[in-house]
Each structure stands twice: as structure tokens, then as C-alpha cells.
Amino acid sequence: MSTKFFVLLLFTAVCLLAQSESALRQAFEGKTVLIKIDMPATNDGVDLQYRGEPPLDFRSYSQRVKRFGVALRNGDSVMVTTVRVKSKNIEFQLGGGGYGTFGDDSGNVSLGTVSKSRRETDLERDIRTETDSRRRDQMSRELSRLASERNREDSIRRSREQELSIEKKRDIEVKRLQAGSRFNIHFPDNFLKESVPTPAAVRAMLAEYVEFDGAEPAREPARTVSSSAVRKGMLSDEVYRILGDPSNQDRANLGAFEQITATWVQSGSLTRVIFINEVAVKITVESR
């Protein structure tokens, strides 16, 4: 095979891939779909294996839900924000694609360490050459005092780092619940290089988990409560005083945090509030 022919073949394959991805993006992006499965609050999303039996690995799925919580719930309407064809999988991103994409905060906090002062460095050097024992003892005591002060400042910084890390993790857990999720459809090696599924084929692969046609459910889709007295940032006790005892509560551990999903079933409506460490972070109401 000549070099020119190989380059032409590669160029043709790249163009076909781009055209196929463009067809998928045009078919799905910006469209609203109805989710038929709880989606984990992470950009790892839900993995599906093309022609797998079953397509979904429920073990990894349940681990992600348990670890990260749920960003999109069964019955939620959400926009398809991105469809991307990669070398071995198709990303079908919903409501932002899930927390953890490029630019999202990693949660690491570092205040650095306290460096030795110039005085400490000079004392360490001068002690080695000082011949007067009395003077050397004075210098050693001063050096010890300076080292203790530096270690104390380091200890304060470590404590502050822990406080900031807890605050940042709490903020991240809230953001996770608002950043959507995704499906990752995995294919055998070289499959997508030869042929990218059509929009109809992708719909068929996701049909068990996503409703495309008539995405608006029979009931009014979940919407953020705005006129209610209940609002984000309230403590659970305040919410319970307003709405009374919930009809149902689900608890999940998110590392150092506890997530509680409380549901109130009332005449003509269903209200759901998600708490992280007893703080309301997401409120939805649905007509029944």
C-alpha cells in the first residue's frame, strides 16, 4: 500500500467519523429526554456494553450511586448536552455530563509549609563554628524557639487545611447533584473506526434507560420549587417544620457526608428534598 493511498484512506475514515458524530449531535443535542434510571452524580456516569448481556454492569453502577449519590432520578426530564464519539465509546451526556470534567474543582486544599526563616538558617550555620560554649547555648535556645514557632504555625495551617477541605468537599457534593450525568456506550476495538451507529441505533441501545419520543411524562416534569417556603440552604429541621414528617426517607453515605432524600406525597403533588449533612441542596416538586 502506497503512502499516499494510506493517507487518503486515513483522511476518508476521519471525515466519515466526523460526519457520523455530526449526525448524532444534530439528532440528540439540545433535545429533552426522560430518564428511566437513577444516574450517578459523576462524569463516570453509567457504562453500557454494546451487545452485552446485560448491557449494564449493575455492580459498578451501584458502587457509583452509593459513592457519589444521584444527580438525575428515574422520571426526570433533562436535556442532552453533548454527544461525543471517541475511539472506543460514545459519550451521551445529560444535563452537563456529570461532575469531574475538565475545570471542575478536584477538592484538594494546600496552604503549603512554613519555610525556615533567614535567622534559623543563619543560626544553624553559625552554631557549627561557634567556639564559645555560652554563646553556642544561647544560639541553640533561640534556634529551638524559632523551630517551635515554625512548627506551631505549620500545625495551624494543617488544621486550617482540614477545615477548608471539609468545606470544599461539601460544596463539591452539592455541585455533583447539579452537574448531570452521562451514558458511556462501549464498543469492541476498532468498531467505531469502521462504522458509527446511526441515531436510530443509539436510540435502540438506550431505549431501556432513556425515553426519547414523548419525553414529557404524563405528569408535569420535575421542576425547581420557587414559590414555596422551602428553599435551598435550609436545615432539615426547618423543612420538616414546614412540610411535616416525610412520607419516605432514603439515606446514603457520601464519604464523610450523609445524603438524605426525603419525599412528601400530598394531594396532587410529590415534593422531594435532597439534604447533604442536613442542609437542603436540591428541591423538586411533581404534579401527580
Higher pLDDT, 1 or 252: 252
Domain co-membership, 159 together with 188:
no
245-255: average pLDDT: 81
202 and 225, same domain (yes or no): no
Same domain, 8 and 79: yes
The whole-chain average pLDDT of the chain stands at 80
Instruction: Supply the CATH number for residue 285's domain.
Output: 3.30.1450.10
Would residue 113 count as lying in a domain? no
Q: What percent of the chain has pLDDT over 70?
A: 81
Asked if 274 and 259 count as a contact pair (C-beta separation under 8 A), the reply is: yes
pLDDT at 244: 86
Q: How many structural domains are present in the chain?
A: 3
Residues 205 and 231 in one domain: no
- Looking at the structure, do residues 86 and 76 belong to the same domain, yes or no? yes
pLDDT over 60 at 11, yes or no: no
Residue 193 belongs to a domain: yes
Looking at the fold, whether 26 and 7 belong to one and the same domain comes out as yes
Give strand ranges (E) for the chain. 32-35, 39-40, 46-49, 70-72, 77-85, 89-94, 181-186, 210-211, 223-224, 248-254, 257-266, 269-276, 279-287
Asked whether residue 159 falls in the same domain as residue 187, the answer is no
Model-level pTM? 0.54
Q: Judge whether residue 210 has pLDDT over 90.
A: yes
Residues 64 and 22 in one domain: yes
Q: Which one of 159, 188, 217 terminates a domain? A: 217
Query: Residue 112: inside a domain, yes or no?
Result: no
- 22 occurs within a structural domain: yes
From 217, 245, 279, the end of a domain falls on 217
User: Is the pLDDT confidence value at 4 over 60?
Assistant: no
Residue ending a domain, choose from 187, 217, 247:
217
Would you state the pLDDT for residue 205? 92
Over the stretch 112-144, which tens digit does the pLDDT of each residue have? 888 889 999 999 999 999 899 999 999 999 999
Distance CA 177, CA 213 (A): 26
Full residue range of the structural domain in which residue 55 is found: 1-100+179-217
Residue 80 has pLDDT above 90, yes or no: yes
| pLDDT of residue 225 exceeding 80 | no
Burial of 172 (0-12, 13-18, 19+ CB in 10 A): buried
Is the alpha carbon torsion for 224, 227, 229, 235 positive or negative? positive
Within 13 Å and on the Cβ side, how many CA atoms surround 259? Answer: 23
Query: Residue 229: which pLDDT band, with cuts at 50, 70 and 90?
Result: confident
pLDDT tens readout for residues 168-191: 777 766 676 778 899 999 999 988
Give domain status of residue 268, yes or no.
yes
State the first-to-last Cα distance of the chain, in angstroms, to the nearest integer: 65
> What's the mean pLDDT in 18-40?
87
193 and 70 part of one domain: yes
50 lies in the same domain as 95: yes
Do 189 and 264 belong together in one domain?
A: no
Helices (H), 29-132: 58-68, 118-127
pLDDT score, position 160? 85
- Distance CA(239)–CA(276), nearest Å, equals 13
Task: Assess if residue 47 is contained within a domain.
Answer: yes
Do both 74 and 51 map to the same domain?
yes
Answer whether residue 275 is part of any domain.
yes
Could you tell me if residue 108 is inside a domain? no
Residue 89 near residue 197, CB atoms below 8 Å: no
